Amino acid sequence: MPQKSNIHFDISERKVLLRIFDIISVLALLYLVGTVFDFDYFKINADHWVWSIVLALYLGVFATIFELYNLQKASKFEVVIQNIILTSSVTVLFYLLTPFFTPELPENRLQIIYFYIAVNVALFVWRYAYIVLISAPRFFKRVLIIGSSEDMAKVIRSLQKSDPNYKVIGYIDTTKTQQASLAFDLPEEFTLNNVAETVKEHAISEIVIATQPSSGMTVSLYNQLINLLESGVPIREYTQVYEEITHRVPVQHVDKDFYRYFPFSRSNQNKLYLFFHRILDLLFSVLGLIFGLLISPVVIIGNIIGNRGPVFYTQTRVGKNSKHFKIYKLRSMVVNAEKDGARYAAAKDHRVTKFGRFLRRSRFDEIPQFINVIKGDMSVIGPRPERPVFVQELSEKIPFYEVRHLVKPGVTGWAQVNAKYGSTQEDALEKLQYDLYYIKHRSLFLDISIVIKTLSTIIFFRGQ
């Protein structure tokens, strides 16, 4: 059997690769255009080095907002084309509008067109090369799972769904239980007899252990894994891999092992971080409320025509340390929407008015919550506050659900920019996983990432 390629790129490596070569390809083509043609608007030299830095900064920010670094979308060229055009258009626009840090507008306006075309062409060529070469199957990360068969389909699905370049080649069943019929096709099953031979024959890049020590991890298997580890084969535990790939804490797989995920981020006790976090809360809240005042005529007219009732409404939610508070929102449902009792909002909920649907998808209905942020009930970023009746229900069914209340709830959050809309217990579990990941890894960098992803949600009209 011919030896397969064992070269692969991790998620972080591919994202860094995309960011670096986006900038290199754009600057290289602009340098080439400036050298070959009479192009005076943008020059790369020692006298104008700031121009290149500002362009790289704008490109990085707007490429993030328009999801050029979303790996699921980065491998689909038809989606990449759309996002490149959006990114280059906004990048060039901002670059033209900040002449204090960038070149003055040229007398020959055609140079602006050349500049715009060069940015697009550079990104198109590089991203096509990435899809054909780097995102090709030969660079997939080839993984062997060792675990119990009853959890195998769930484990494999969760890993491959989150990373298109993560390929589970096969698995080894440590329990030898009868495999139930599943709607998910499992990859090839290997034996415990010679794991090293399996790794060599199938060019395995990494072994993932998805079983408890008491579930079939024999001395013989331990010794085989130790030998593989000494020979340089990476071996990692499933929950660690799951968290790294999905950016979620797999609470459904850790049972009562609470200690494994604490203490959470030191930022939760870092006075300097909390101080700047509060300053940013106040700054964003003031800007948000000013924006709310600017669009208030549209909201009032839309409410009169499409909502026909009060503009605002309040509702009791659970905040930090499980304290209750009144949340402010623009009303998006019909009056007396819960006359039959509290229930989750659902996709295409008939209680949502036509104008209310616009408010939800644009996230404009959340603007009054900046008042809650100023009052100190909420933060701009954090887990979304839930209603007491739902908190009590979910706390009884989902482990660690109350951990969400260790920090202030937020207007937006890691779950809001990553999880899909839903109202089932499974959806609540997925959102909890994202919330716990935020609490565990809370940092200024993650906060900035959430703000940028929220802008993507608003721009692509994905509010719920």
Final residue of a structural domain among 199, 215, 246: 246
Instruction: Specify the pLDDT at position 180.
Output: 47
Burial of 14 (0-12, 13-18, 19+ CB in 10 A): buried
pLDDT of 181 reads: 45
Give the number of other CB atoms < 10 A from CB of residue 332: 24
Within 8 A by CB and 6+ apart from 16, the residues are: none
Residues 104 and 88 in one domain: yes
Q: What value does the mean pLDDT take over residues 102-128?
A: 88
Q: Global pTM? A: 0.79
Is 59 within a domain?
Answer: yes
Do 173 and 311 have their domain in common?
Answer: no
The pLDDT score that the predictor gives to residue 462 is: 65
User: What percent of the chain is predicted at pLDDT more than 90?
Assistant: 33
Mean pLDDT of the chain: 84
Question: 300 and 442 share a domain?
Answer: yes
- 299 and 447 share one domain: yes
Distance between CA atoms of residues 251 and 226, nearest Å: 28
d(Cα 171, Cα 195) in Å, to the nearest integer? 10
Q: Are residues 79 and 201 in the same domain?
A: no
Q: Is residue 301 assigned to a domain? A: yes
Instruction: For residues 173 and 149, give the distance between their C-alpha atoms in angstroms, rounded to a whole number.
Output: 5
Whether residue 282 sits in one domain with residue 423: yes
Instruction: Tell whether the model's pLDDT for residue 21 goes beyond 90.
Output: yes
In the numeric block, the tokens 């901002």 are attached to: 94
Tell me the per-residue pLDDT of 345-402, one tens digit each, with 9 for 90 and over.
666 667 888 888 888 888 899 999 999 999 999 999 999 999 999 899 888 888 788 8
| In-domain check, residue 194 | yes
Distance CA 356, CA 370 (A): 19
Let me know if residue 254 belongs to a domain.
no
243 falls in which pLDDT band (50, 70, 90)?
A: confident
What CA–CA distance (Å, rounded) separates 238 from 146?
9
Mean pLDDT of 16-30: 93
Same domain, 23 and 127: yes
Total domains in the chain come to 3
Are residues 411 and 283 part of one domain? yes
Task: Give pLDDT, residue 369.
Answer: 96
- For residue 39, being part of any structural domain is answered with yes
Q: What is the pLDDT of residues 327-342, one digit of tens each?
A: 999 998 887 777 666 6
Range of the domain at 207: 140-246
